[in-house]
Amino acid sequence: MDGEKKGKYSDLIRRFATAQILVIGDVILDTYLDCRALGVASEAPVPLLEISKQTHTLGGAANVAHNLAKLGVKTSLLGLVGNDPNGRHAAQLIQESGIHFLPLLTSRPTLHKSRVLSGRHYFLRLDEEEPSPLTEREATAFLEEASKAIRNSKVVLVSDYDKGMFTAALAKSIEALSIQHGIPIFGDIKPQNISHWTHLSLITPNQIEARKLFSELTLGVPELQNNLELARSLSQRLSCDIVLKMAEKGLIAVAFSGEAYQFQALCRAPENVSGAGDTVLSTLAAVLAVKAGLREAAFLANLAASIAVSHPGTHAVSDQELLEKIEGLEVEDEDEPLEA
């Protein structure tokens, strides 16, 4: 990559500090139990593990917000937490991450995922959740807070983990507020909830989600096998931009206006892909919030994902890491997308 292009991308990254993004979604507390394998338990034929380390990190919408904050974006997070120790722990981690947290207390337990690992072996995941729809009181309080937060944002980012938060009525209210203030909505939307939304500007499905979306939107139509055709079809049917995440195959970015670009994956030997989708969504939102185009946003999102997956654990990429990655690109490195 030549110096002029490096300068262009570096300037975009430095402008992240001028962006203000509101994340709305399911707040999850992730707990990782690193264990030492001792053999087989005496009372049953199951692994006997001794906990050596316990780590708490932000998950769900909170991880998206964490990624944005690490990129230097002024980030607010609107989400539900329970009045319980996990909720208080999540709130503490959110505030320590430099995120402006707008918590709404619920009678339900805080969403909590516990993962049991030993070395590279992933033994078990335990989920604590009650994915019921918001009560009328919770929905009213939520929209009151959203109406104030949206008007002060440049982008609304919806992180839907299908835990009951985004009903059709709530989605329509969020869209009405965003339209009123001229704020685009970017989303990571579960396929079964896509019908709730009609005014999205960008979504970022992976290949499995994209095919489920296509099935939801085109009952009886034969499935498209080509990823580019699939992304184009979704873009036209949903009237929004699509960034299709293809894991080791990279990204395809399709604008509603018709332009399409493919980016090859830059990390050939990923350590851990957990959370990389949040990195992609956050980086896209940061770049688009400073008025760059989808092409530049997808390039930087692909670059950020290559940093995230090169770490052994879930990793939120900082603006400084992204700047250093840009500076380290060689002349022969492919910095332009392949027009699809």
Residue reference for tokens 């001028």: 18
The residues facing 241 across adjacent strands are: 202
Contact predicate 91/28, CB 8 Å: no
Q: Dump the DSSP string for 273-284.
A: -TTHHHHHHHHH
Q: What is the DSSP letter of 225?
A: -
Cα distance between residue 49 and residue 190, in whole Å: 35
Residue reference for tokens 């690992």: 117
Residue of 278, 319, 333, 335 marked catalytic: 278
Cα distance between residue 286 and residue 214, in whole Å: 27
Phi and psi (nearest 5°) for 198?
-130, -5
Residue 216 in tokens: 């939801």
Q: Determine whether 278 is an active site residue.
A: yes
Nearest to 54 by CA among 71, 30, 73: 30
Burial 253-274 (b: 16+ CB within 10 A, else e): bbbbeeebbbbebbbeebeebb
Half-sphere exposure of 281 (CA within 13 A, CB side): 31
At residue 256, the 3 state secondary structure works out as: coil
Polymer length of the chain: 340
Nearest to 320 by CA among 13, 99, 69, 97: 13
Hey, which residues are catalytic here? 278
